[in-house]
Amino acid sequence: MLSGYIAYLPLRLTTLTHYLVESLMEIRHDVACTPVARILSRMPGRRLSAVGEQSETGATVSLIFLGVS
């Protein structure tokens, strides 16, 4: 039953990964306007647009939260 959804996973995960990374990169500290997080993972190069395509990166995002400096 769930095996029918496996083909959709790369498409959905790529979209969610792009959204997460873009959102985290936009967040800034109030006082110093410095980034709140540094993304350590390799960024996905393109968004998938069709079911069955494969992404060149995984869906795990590694990051470090930064303090105000």
Q: 23-42: per-residue pLDDT in tens?
A: 999 999 999 999 999 999 98
Give the chain's end-to-end CA distance (angstroms, integer): 51
**What is the number of structural domains in the chain?**
1
* Top-confidence residue, 54 or 35: 35
Global confidence as pTM: 0.79
Torsion of CA 55, 6, 12, 10, to 10 degrees: 0
For 39, the domain range is: 2-65
